[in-house]
Amino acid sequence: MARAAIPGGLTWRPATVAATRAETATARTLVLDVDGWTGHLPGQHVDIRLTAPDGYTAERSYSISSAPGPGRLEVTVQTVIDGEVSPYLVDVAGPGDQLEIRGPLGGWFVRRPADPRPALLIGGGSGVAPLVSMVRAATAPTRLLYSTRSPSDALFRADLAAAEAADDARVAVTHVYTRVAPPGWPTPPRRLDADALARVAWPHDADVVAFVCGPTAFVETVADLLVDIGHNPANIRTERFGPSRG
Amino acid sequence: MAVITRGFGGRRRDDTDLPPGQYRTDDFPVLSAGPTPRIGLDKWELAVVTEIGERSTWSWTEFTALPADETTVDIHCVTHWSKFGTRWRGVSVDTLLADVETSAEYVVAHCYGGYTTNIPLEDLIDGQAWVAYEFDGEPLAPVHGGPARLLVPHLYFWKSAKWLRALELRLDDEPGFWETAGYHNYGDPWREQRYRAD
Amino acid sequence: MSTTNVGADDPSWVDGNALAGPLGELMGTDLTVAELTCANCRTTRPLAAMRVFDRAPGLVARCPGCEDVVMRLVRTTERALIDLRGSLVVSFPLPNA
């Protein structure tokens, strides 16, 4: 239902689907055009609201996966079986369709462009989305450790490969596969553990900021491992991410 | 002017026996203001406490030995879903109050996990409310309030407190968890008493 | 950034980050970077790091340490309520501090 905006408060504004891009069999990126959008900080999210012709509305939050920029943003949505919003966004929405967004939102799980510290980004599943925005906008050394069940579940494959191939070698990407590894992969599939983390992380005495995003159990495990290998808890920011309502 | 999203279906509201503003669901949505308490049946206890502090208590064995009713009712959640024909087994609140001397007019339901809700005593007696421990022929699942929950089907379902621990009989009314946070003190779905001012 | 949780048997919660939209709509500022001191266990955390139970008649933020309620947000037909009785102090970072 439409409701009046509170003066000074954030408001819902119309967004138009400009394009869609399949990421995997069950996830896709939506490119949204928003009049007056002035950009975001990597790590921020937007709330998306869908309104049915009978007035029924549903709202969900999605991380922004694009690099900051005016007028346009991208969200990447993993479909949730029996979900209400994600199946629409992944399977139905197409160019020209309209929805509403509120944002950009959240000032805590953000990578500020002026922060000169190296960033260690650790993502599980579709929790990589806000980290990919950080990768795209990286100006300081950035390492991404990305855990998925299998290669075919990995989002942003081409984008991450391109970021890693850039001349300045600012970005390094390491994949971890928990169920199925590609042929010839050096290690059998396994959960992300202290070894894998230690191989990617900077020495613990370096002034590094870490961002962890994924399902709850993944985030708790990784945050504990980071502390175990010597990271300062004050420099670890976490965001639980994951499909349960969809 | 709301933006209508093409192709987004929304809900259907075509049932005639729905209270105003409700839609029908065949699922049993799990709503919770906190983590699910896990109470071992050997530790579980239900209490009725009167306005002068007299306590009656039942262990799980004692409680489940009380005469129980089967009841099939419609339930209405304040978040707009209604579920028809839900089948419960539980002990009538009349049975729990049979030997209790009280001049209380109000009840606060206290729960494992800290939740509370307030209900006039007259809405819990005369066969209107139960302490339920089976749903659909099975032990009540923890996410739905097991081991035992209050069942007051003629009020919005937040009054049917999950993980019930005690019924406190009071002379005065004491608003509970949602009632102190903007929700209606009584909560009649047929009069759509969702919020304080409704 | 949506809902969380592992077991189907547990009620889902999200991070306090998820309150940025609902609170920002009311306050026009990002409250998720504010720090709240839990009235029960006296620990202090950013609102972003609290656990928010969002499948409920309102949004309920709980301290991840002791699970007590630190904030409740309810939207009624004509008002929005923020209940802070579970927090002793709410502190805000100042810009350029």
- Tell me which of C17, C27, C31, C52 to substitute to probe the interface with A (most A C-beta atoms closer than 10 Å): C17
Task: Report the alpha-carbon distance of residue A26 to residue C9 in Å, rounded.
Answer: 24
Q: Binning pLDDT at 50, 70 and 90, where does residue C8 land?
A: very low
Residue B40 CB partners (closer than 8 Å, separation 6+):
none
List chain B residues with CB under 8 Å of C9. Answer: 36, 141-143
User: What is each CA distance from B26 to A64, B16, B82, B145, B164, in whole angstroms?
Assistant: 34, 16, 8, 19, 25
Asked if A244's CB is within 8 angstroms of C12's CB, the reply is yes
A94 and A85 Cβ atoms separated by less than 8 Å: no
B35 touches C at CB < 8 Å:
yes
Asked if C4's CB is within 8 angstroms of A216's CB, the reply is yes
C23 min Cα distance to partner chain A (Å): 9
Q: Go through B28-65 and write b for each residue having 16 or more CB atoms within 10 A of its CB, e for each that does not.
A: eebbbbbebbebeeeebebebbbbeeeeeebebeebbe
For β-strands A171-177 and A142-148, DSSP reports them as parallel
pLDDT > 90 in chain C, percent: 69
Asked if A97's CB is within 8 angstroms of B11's CB, the reply is no
| Domains observed in chain A | 13-105 (2.40.30.10), 119-240 (3.40.50.80)
Q: Which residue of B has its CA nearest to C77?
A: B195
pLDDT in tens, B117-162: 999 999 999 999 999 999 999 999 999 999 999 999 999 999 999 9
With an 8 Å Cβ cutoff, the interface of chain C facing chain A consists of 1-6, 12, 14-18, 20-21, 24-28, 30, 32-33, 46, 48-49, 55
B171 and B105 Cβ atoms separated by less than 8 Å: yes
The domain of C75 spans 14-90
pLDDT in tens, B105-116: 999 999 999 999
Asked if residue C95 belongs to a domain, the reply is: no
A146 and A134 Cβ atoms separated by less than 8 Å: no
Residue A3: the pLDDT is 60
For residues C4, C7, C10, C12, the Cα torsion angle rounded to the nearest 10 degrees is 10
Give the nearest partner residue to B10 out of A54, A97, A99, using CB atoms.
A54
pLDDT at B80 over 70: yes
Asked if C62's CB is within 8 angstroms of B194's CB, the reply is no
Question: Residue ranges per domain, chain B?
Answer: 40-191
Asked if residue C73 belongs to a domain, the reply is: yes
Q: By C-alpha distance, which of B155, B160, B163, B152 is closest to B187?
A: B155
Q: Which residue of C has its CA nearest to A125?
A: C1
Asked if C30's CB is within 8 angstroms of A62's CB, the reply is no
Asked if residue C4 belongs to a domain, the reply is: no
pLDDT in tens, A92-148: 999 999 999 999 999 999 999 889 999 999 999 999 999 999 999 999 999 999 999
pLDDT at A4 over 80: no
Q: Binning pLDDT at 50, 70 and 90, where does residue C74 land?
A: very high
Q: Give how many domains chain C has, as a whole number.
A: 1
Find the range with the poorest average confidence among A78-92, B89-103, B137-151: A78-92
User: What is each CA distance from C85 to A27, A173, A240, C37, C62, in whole angstroms?
Assistant: 41, 45, 26, 11, 12
B9 touches A at CB < 8 Å:
yes
Residue A190: the pLDDT is 87
Look up the CATH superfamily of B40-191: Oxidoreductase, molybdopterin-binding domain (3.90.420.10)
Mean pLDDT of A240-245: 61
Residue B10: the pLDDT is 61
Q: What is the ipTM of this complex?
A: 0.89
Task: Report the alpha-carbon distance of residue A16 to residue A9 in Å, rounded.
Answer: 22
Reported pTM? 0.89
Task: Report the alpha-carbon distance of residue B83 to residue B18 in Å, rounded.
Answer: 9
Residue type, B95: T
pLDDT at A206 over 60: yes
